[in-house]
Amino acid sequence: MNNLAEQIYQSSLDLPDEAAFEVLDFIATLKMRLVHDQSASRPGVVTGEDSPLFRQLQEIGFIGCRSTDEQLASTYKQRLDFSAKTGNEP
């Protein structure tokens, strides 16, 4: 084994498929973290509402997530607005 990529490959050969998928998921997570860390440390990188990614998510209707102290697992139905589906105003 002469390089790191080869070591990783050889080590993965003995893994069952489920474990190999976890390794791939872990690698993807590491890559995302590296990209995030690099963009946060580079001046001039567009983030937030001005980023092209944010604009694309808005265009496709991505709702996003909500930060709250409430336990939405038990109260989410009271918090959602179904008026677009039912035609009724809340």
- One-letter identity of residue 44: G
Under 8 Å CB-to-CB from 57, ≥6 apart: which residues?
A: 64
- Please tell me what DSSP assigns to residue 51: S
Cβ(55)–Cβ(62) below 8 Å = no
Q: What is the pLDDT along the chain (90 residues), one digit of tens a residue?
A: 569 889 988 998 999 999 888 988 888 888 888 877 766 666 555 556 677 777 888 888 877 766 666 676 777 777 677 777 766 655
Provide the whole-model pTM. Answer: 0.40
Residue 18: CA count within 13 A, CB half-sphere: 0
pLDDT at residue number 68: 66
